[in-house]
Amino acid sequence: MQTLAFALFATPMGHCGIAWSEAGLTGVQLPESDEAATRARMVRRFPQCTEGEPPPVVRRAMDAVVALIQGSPKEPADLGDIVLDLDGVPPFHQRVYALARRIPPGETRTYGELARALGEPGAARAVGQTLGANPFAPVVPCHRILAANARAGGFSAHGGVTTKLALLLIEHAQFNGPGLFDGDGMSPGAVNRTL
């Protein structure tokens, strides 16, 4: 991956980061504690490049991420058409990321289900580790993959599982029934009770 530049952009959750090459996105960063922390993370991730003006295709990707995080009561944003530059990404990771990108907004799978879909039923832990190293969240929607028995599992972005559950709330996520969350289903209190 020859990253050309990165940029920050505001979302309802905070400032995200995005980096790109001529072939596609080389990284996406969910918000850190504040804009300065997100910028510092992008500088650590992409030390060979500087902040720059995103080209139109990257700007469209930024708009799509903002739309996802804003949420829509009728139809969550789908980021499936955003082009990623996967040069240097290990083949197993590429397979996991491609499969994760096929999970529609509002739906979830487990690490074990992804492993079985890959034809490697014993690889649930490897799937989880791969998603924990996901350089493209939320474009590769690792927040839609849960542990067994509808447990949240881990999440490596700032805020951890709280951020994962917040993204699932925004998407009105379903899990084997009426909804992933208890009670009124979509309140912040419901998120806190599931932690």
Can you tell me the distance from the alpha carbon of 100 to that of 32, in angstroms, rounded to the nearest whole number?
A: 23
- Alpha-carbon 165 to chain mean position: 12
**Residue with tokens 């990257």, as numbered in its chain:** 58
Q: Under a CB-based contact definition with an 8 Å cutoff, are residues 61 and 78 in contact?
A: no
Does the annotation mark 142 as catalytic? yes
Angle at the Cα of 154 from the Cα atoms of 150 and 160, rounded to 5 degrees: 115
- Select which of 13, 69, 142, 180 is catalytic: 142
DSSP reduced 3-state for 63: helix
Peptide bond into 138 cis (omega under 30): yes
Determine how many CB atoms are found less than 10 A away from the CB of residue 54: 19
Residues labelled catalytic: 142
